[in-house]
Amino acid sequence: MKWTNFDFKIKKRYIYKFVRSIQAIADDVRLHFDYNGVQVLSVNPGHVAMVSVELNRQGFERYAMLDDYIAVDVNRLREALEPFRFDDMLTFKVEKTTTRDKDKVSRCDYERHKITIVHDKKTTWFLTLEDADKCTYPEMDLPNSATVENRDLRQLSKLADETVSFNSLENFGTEVTTFDSKDEELNRVYMKVMLNTGDERIPQKARSAFASCYFEEITKALPKNKKLEVRYGDNYPLDLMFERENGIVNGHYTVAPRI
């Protein structure tokens, strides 16, 4: 972190939905600021699921172009946002500060940032983390793409005790199934959707299965009526792409398959 103090201005609705999208997968993240806005790329503790989300600079009332990051606990950030109304215009003040380790033996000092959130006479604040893990996004060739309703995927994740499978069909369709080793009645086709064929990808025969618990967390973080693009391959990770607030918040979740 090269810079010290800065501030920005944005409606709560935009940053709240940005934070909520991250919380489905990660807690401690790096918020990277650049010309385009704020980006997060982070994995869950088990390194099975990844989230990549951008808060576009078009959503900011005031934004200073930076090329650096701060590390935050998104749960603390969400708590700091709670007292404000959804459409309040919030001013964020980021100031460098020094905190001392409570350990009486080490007595180490740490440089962090204090983030103060202000609207009218109401103020909340929290401290950033020292740092968070840096992630890189894997290069993947996912040939199959389908569009699904989030409410359908949410219902499916509730029905499936163990896995959710995406299987390509000969008629350019996608079959989504559930699997439960204890209850054979749940091992059934839940929905069928057509593959998207309007881009350069050529649909291929593929089948991938994923732990249903990740879909449950992801779908809870997104609106029920949201359309999601799902990209998958044969025993490859799945990409679940979304956007919110007309593209102000956009990104994707990546989930590793069960092989």
What pLDDT was estimated at residue 30?
94
Domain for residue 69, yes or no? yes
Average pLDDT, the chain: 84
Same domain, 94 and 161: no
What pLDDT was estimated at residue 203?
67
Instruction: Report the CATH number at residue 156.
Output: 3.70.10.10
Q: In the chain, pLDDT over 90 holds for what percent of residues?
A: 44
Q: Is pLDDT above 80 for 33?
A: yes
DSSP letters spanning 142-204: --EEEEEEHHHHHHHHHH-SSEEEEEE-TTSEEEEEEE-TT-GGGSSEEEEEEBP-SSSPPP-
Domain of 51, in residue numbers: 6-127
Q: Name the pTM for this structure.
A: 0.87
111 or 14, which is more confident: 14
Q: Is pLDDT above 70 for 237?
A: yes
**Last residue of some domain: 101, 127, 153?**
127
